[in-house]
Structure 1
Amino acid sequence: MYKAVRARMCALVCGARAARRDAGMVTSEYAMGIIAAVAFAAVLYKVVTSGAVSAELQGIVKQALDARM
């Protein structure tokens, strides 16, 4: 019984140590995700505001507004 309790305590303590070592990794993953999302948003903004895409989107909106039911 003593060995089982000791093994369980060791697993809990070692698990806590491992969690403390990985604590900063979660933050860096969030930071990389935010950087990737901002970069994707910037590329998407450039594409949508380009002349050809902007004209096409305006045409689609105008056609939708002029539609008769």
Structure 2
Amino acid sequence: MTAAIGDIVAITTGVKYVVLGFSGNPIGGTDARLIRPDGNGRFTGFTKDASGLIVVQSPSFETGERVSVD
């Protein structure tokens, strides 16, 4: 299954993140921007090759619905 914006995904370490968006990379692939709470009231995030993501959950959202990462 391919990840989409808003999906909860796991990376190879098993840590879960939320997909914020996608962008192209220099080698012609797609990178995903990922974010997760760090436990100190802040967020940590990074960019990872989208093909290496494991979709854990795909929540559904309505257009204009307020969404939070937690």
**Normalised-by-shorter TM-score class:** under 0.3
The structure richer in helix per residue is 1
Normalised to the residue count of structure 1, the TM-score between the two structures is 0.14
The structure richer in strand per residue is 2
Normalised to the residue count of structure 2, the TM-score between the two structures is 0.14
Greater length-normalized contact order (CA 8 Å, ≥ 6 residues apart): 2
Query: Over alpha carbons, which structure has the higher Rg?
Result: 1
